[in-house]
Amino acid sequence: MKIRLIAVGDKPRSWVTEAFDDYARRLPRELSLDLVQIPTAKARTRASQGERALKAVDRQDWVVALDETGRSCDSAALAAKLDGWRNEGRTVALLVGGADGLDAKVLARANEVVALSNLTFPHELVRVIVAEQLYRAWTILSGHPYHRA
């Protein structure tokens, strides 16, 4: 199974890249997590950022928009989603907007809209949170002791 995190934003600081890569490396080979960067310099408006993000999405991808308007889920629910995505065998595209969020066209294309939290996070930090939560979801599914709820 392949998951692509499509994120609008400038080149992340080194600690963000290191943390994202650390969690991505912890995932098993059959569950790859890749970051697709949409630079803000080439897409200054939310609409142009959305267009560029959607160009990175393949037609058959299952698109999940990460947006504050979405439905919240806990780690167990995310694990259940991950299990369902894995069983369907599709590539999952997780879309993260820039500082101003996702364009309405992105939300309209999404198969589902998920809120990570009621809190507001810097979009750069969301990359790390998503990677960690995907790792946590995998550990729940595999019975690994990482998740101790």
At 72, phi and psi to the nearest 5?
Answer: -75, 150
All domains in the chain, ordered by first residue:
2-142 (3.40.1280.10)
β-strand pairing of 32-38 with 2-8: parallel
pLDDT attached to residue 78 = 97
Find the DSSP H helices in 5-62.
14-26, 46-55
Residue 120: per-residue pLDDT: 87
Confirm if 98 and 127 have CB atoms less than 8 A apart. Answer: no
Percent of the chain with pLDDT over 70: 97
Whether 22 has a pLDDT exceeding 70, the answer reads yes
User: SS3 for 55?
Assistant: helix
The pTM assigned to this predicted structure is 0.93
Report residue 101: phi and psi, to 5°: 90, -165
Q: Can you give the pLDDT at residue 149?
A: 65
For tokens 């199974």, what's the residue?
1
Nearest to 55 by CA among 101, 109, 15: 109
pLDDT in tens, 78-114: 999 999 999 999 899 999 998 888 999 999 999 999 9
Find, among 32, 1, 5, the residue nearest to 17 by Cα: 5
**Which pLDDT score is estimated for 46?**
87
The pLDDT tens digits of the residues spanning 29-78 come to 999 999 999 988 666 788 899 999 999 999 999 999 999 999 999 999 99
C-alpha to C-alpha distance for 69 and 75, rounded to whole angstroms? 18
